[in-house]
């Protein structure tokens, strides 16, 4: 049976994995909407895909590697141009623990 | 004057480019006031380009670029608040190729946030207005590109980008031409991606000949994008006769389509018949499953792609407070719009342990069947023809009432070819009460030339 609605706990769990802090209004809105869309995704189960390979890409492609040689890259001035969180040639981030 | 004549004259020195651009920018500001099609207008940068313009295939031509493509030192937002002040330190390959051929970047066009939408209403900055009725949508997500292409009465070509129909939809609603190339035909390097296995960059213009010109410039292998195809780029401007082409008409593509649009599309198909093509009705059985398969695939890829926007290195940032989970979650909550959050949650859900096989892998298997459907059709057909959009450009107040699923349903005719990565061309095929309808032509992988030949035969 296709599932209807996604309960609040389930939604908050997914949001946590996705690193999204949802507001109370968003929780209310998304619980219903996400559930409806997921129920619609269930339609895919009707298709017999036994022995069918998944297509990660629309065309077959191959891995491409280049010579492992030194090439020109962005100047560090450019690399750090879009952030205030930097120090002594490193990006600064939030604490890990 | 079209782009081709303009470039010829500019090369001969018959156009004073400084004067031309002074007048052009006045016009662009006026247009933008009324239609809101640009996120950024690049006047200063354009005049800088003029100082040292390469005498190439696009010499002096104004080119607008969807804001999803990185432009060096020019604000590039992808329509999102999370990138509202981002200035890339590099050009995307497409922009670099345009500049190297003497094309002049005039501005960055409006779009749904990260391409998440079919109506250019999920925008952090401006919502572009339809040139034929400003209370209606331009289509999306390349809505600004469609709008400026239709409105501007000067030579110009736009660069759009499509994941599930984002070039075809605005081309149809705005009454211009839009080509979505084969996946991998054009480099995606420097594109702020929506879904890696679906994104394609392509030209939009008033005529198909102008599209061929731009495709010649942007197509081809790029070592910076390992999914670009290492295949020869033909001269797309060399137009051939379409006599003898077999045009397949998939019956599923007329289900639920407004009668007035179906009539215009059939008129266009009859014109192809008059030009010596053979019409063949056929069935693409996987059509109804393509839409959910597309949305599972696209949201899954989007949810991983958007993980990089977390308040570090570039984009929106806040004081570094709390641990990394708290910080990232807070930045993303502030930076992403509602539809972006919805798609991140959907994609995360579809890839989650316990659901991955049921949704994500099943969608990719259905995708294989969709591709097989098309491959079978192209064994006997040169092109497929269908309506581009099932409705005329909707009014903004009508769109507000749609639920997310009703909204996604509007992509029903464009997602299957996008999922299969085949090239497609939308061209205008008449209008109803002043609103344009679009004919959608689809071809096998790398058969852009056939689309261009048929497009020129019908539309020029």
CATH of the domain at B54: 3.90.1300.10
Active site residue B206: no
Predicted pLDDT at B247: 98
Could you tell me where the beta strands, DSSP code E, fall in B214-371?
Answer: 246-250, 278-282
Lateral strand order in the sheet of B278-282: B38-41, B104-109, B62-66, B157-162, B200-205, B177-180, B424-432, B435-443, B383-387, B246-250, B278-282
Span B96-152, pLDDT tens digits? 999 999 999 999 999 999 999 999 999 999 999 999 999 999 999 999 999 999 999
The residue range of the domain holding B373 is 1-460
Predicted pLDDT at A9: 92
Instruction: Judge whether B249 is closer than 8 Å to chain A, CB to CB.
Output: no
Work out the pLDDT band at A6, boundaries 50, 70, 90.
confident
d(CA B101, CA A34): 46
Q: Which residues of B touch A64 (CB under 8 A)?
A: 223, 226
DSSP A30-94: HHHHHHHHHHHHGGGGGS--TTPPP-SSSS----------------HHHHTTT-S-EETTEE---
Residues 87-126 of B with CB under 8 A from A: 87, 89-90
Q: What would the two tokens of residue B416 be?
A: 């299957």
Active site residue B353: no
Predicted pLDDT at B264: 98
B405: left (phi over 0), alpha (psi -120 to 50) or beta: alpha
Work out the pLDDT band at B429, boundaries 50, 70, 90.
very high
Domains with residue ranges and CATH for chain A: 1-45 (1.10.20)
Work out the pLDDT band at A1, boundaries 50, 70, 90.
very low
Q: Give, as one character, the DSSP assignment of residue B108.
A: E
Mean predicted confidence (pLDDT) in A55-84:
90
* Nearest alpha carbon to residue B141 among B80, B225, B84, B209: B80
Report residue B406 CA to chain centroid gap: 21
Work out the pLDDT band at B315, boundaries 50, 70, 90.
very high
**3 state SS of B293:** helix
Q: What is the number of domains present in chain B? A: 1
Residue A60 above 90 pLDDT?
no
Mean predicted confidence (pLDDT) in B181-197:
97
Q: Which residues of A touch B71 (CB under 8 A)?
A: none
Q: Residue for token digits 């509007």?
A: B410
- Which of A41, A75, A93 is nearest residue B292 as measured by Cβ atoms? A41
- Asked if B114 and B340 count as a contact pair (C-beta separation under 8 A), the reply is yes
Predicted pLDDT at A3: 53
User: Does the beta-carbon distance from B296 to A44 stay under 8 Å?
Assistant: yes
Work out the pLDDT band at B280, boundaries 50, 70, 90.
very high
- Which of A34, A36, A75 is nearest residue B349 as measured by Cβ atoms? A34
**3 state SS of B89:** coil
Instruction: Tell me what percent of the residues of chain B surpass a pLDDT of 90.
Output: 100
Span B369-428, pLDDT tens digits? 999 999 999 999 999 999 999 999 999 999 999 999 999 999 999 999 999 999 999 999
Predicted pLDDT at B316: 98
Q: Give, as one character, the DSSP assignment of residue B68.
A: T
Residues 182-221 of B with CB under 8 A from A: 182-184, 197-198
Residue A62 above 90 pLDDT?
no
Active site residue B166: yes
Span B316-333, pLDDT tens digits? 999 999 999 999 999 999
Q: Which residues of B touch A84 (CB under 8 A)?
A: 317
- Which of A55, A63, A81 is nearest residue B89 as measured by Cβ atoms? A81
Q: Which residues of B touch A43 (CB under 8 A)?
A: 289, 292
Mean predicted confidence (pLDDT) in B282-296:
97
Q: Which residues of A touch B326 (CB under 8 A)?
A: 94
User: Does the beta-carbon distance from B368 to A52 stay under 8 Å?
Assistant: yes
Alpha-carbon distances of B369 from A62, A68, B293, rounded to whole Å: 21, 39, 11
Q: What would the two tokens of residue B103 be?
A: 């094309």
Question: Residue B197's closest chain A neighbor by CA?
Answer: A57
Mean predicted confidence (pLDDT) in B50-67:
98
Work out the pLDDT band at B350, boundaries 50, 70, 90.
very high
Higher pLDDT: B391 or A6? It is: B391
Predicted pLDDT at A4: 59
- Which of B286, B332, B358 is nearest residue A19 as measured by Cβ atoms? B332
Q: How many CB pairs under 8 A join A and B?
A: 179
Q: Of the listed B64, B142, B166, B303, which one is catalytic?
A: B166
């Amino acid at each position: 049976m296709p599932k209807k609605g996604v309960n609040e706990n389930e939604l908050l769990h997914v949001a946590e994995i996705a690193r999204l802090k949802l507001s109370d209004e968003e929780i209310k809105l998304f619980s219903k909407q996400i559930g409806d869309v997921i129920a619609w995704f269930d339609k895919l189960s009707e298709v017999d895909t036994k022995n069918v390979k998944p297509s990660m890409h629309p065309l077959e492609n191959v891995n491409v590697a280049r010579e492992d040689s030194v090439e020109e890259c962005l100047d560090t001035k450019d690399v750090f141009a879009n952030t205030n969180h930097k120090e002594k040639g490193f990006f600064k981030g939030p604490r890990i623990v | 004057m079209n782009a081709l004549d303009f470039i010829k004259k500019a090369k001969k020195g018959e156009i004073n480019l400084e004067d031309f651009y002074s007048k052009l920018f006045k016009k662009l500001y006026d247009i933008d006031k009324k239609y809101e099609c640009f996120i950024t207008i690049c006047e200063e940068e354009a005049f800088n380009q003029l100082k040292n313009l390469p005498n190439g295939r696009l010499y002096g031509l104004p080119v607008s670029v969807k804001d999803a493509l990185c432009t060096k030192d020019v604000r590039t937002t992808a329509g999102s608040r999370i990138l509202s002040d981002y200035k890339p330190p590099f050009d995307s390959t497409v922009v670099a190729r345009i500049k190297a051929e003497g094309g002049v970047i005039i501005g960055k066009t409006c779009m749904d946030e990260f391409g998440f939408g079919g109506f250019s209403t999920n925008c952090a900055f401006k919502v572009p207005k339809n040139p034929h009725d400003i209370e209606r949508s331009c289509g999306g997500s390349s809505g600004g590109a469609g709008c400026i292409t239709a409105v501007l009465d000067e030579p110009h070509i736009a660069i759009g980008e499509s994941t599930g129909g984002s070039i075809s939809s605005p081309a149809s609603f705005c009454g211009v031409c839009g080509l979505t190339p084969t996946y991998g035909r054009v480099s995606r390097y420097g594109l702020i991606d929506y879904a890696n296995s679906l994104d394609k960059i392509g030209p939009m213009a008033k005529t198909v000949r102008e599209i061929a010109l731009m495709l010649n410039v942007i197509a081809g292998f790029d070592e910076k994008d390992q999914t670009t195809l290492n295949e020869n780029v033909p001269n797309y401007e060399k137009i051939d006769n379409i006599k003898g082409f077999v045009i397949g008409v998939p019956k599923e593509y007329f289900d639920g389509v407004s009668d007035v649009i179906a009539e215009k599309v059939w008129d266009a198909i009859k014109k192809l018949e008059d030009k010596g093509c053979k019409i063949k009705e056929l069935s693409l059985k996987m059509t109804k499953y393509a839409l959910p398969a597309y949305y599972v695939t696209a949201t899954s890829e989007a949810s991983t792609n958007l993980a990089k926007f977390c308040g570090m290195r570039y984009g929106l940032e806040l004081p570094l407070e709390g641990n990394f989970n708290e910080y990232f979650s807070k930045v993303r909550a502030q930076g992403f719009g509602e539809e972006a959050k919805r798609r991140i949650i959907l994609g995360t859900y579809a890839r989650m342990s316990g659901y991955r096989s049921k949704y994500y892998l099943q969608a990719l298997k259905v995708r294989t069947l969709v591709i097989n459907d098309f491959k079978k059709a192209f064994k006997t057909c040169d092109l497929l023809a269908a309506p581009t959009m099932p409705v005329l450009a909707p009014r903004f107040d009508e769109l507000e009432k749609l639920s997310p699923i009703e909204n996604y349903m509007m992509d029903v005719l464009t997602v299957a070819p996008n999922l299969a990565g085949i090239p497609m061309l939308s061209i205008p095929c008449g209008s109803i009460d002043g609103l344009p309808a679009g004919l959608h032509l689809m071809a096998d992988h790398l058969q852009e030339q056939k689309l261009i030949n048929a497009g020129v035969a019908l539309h020029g």
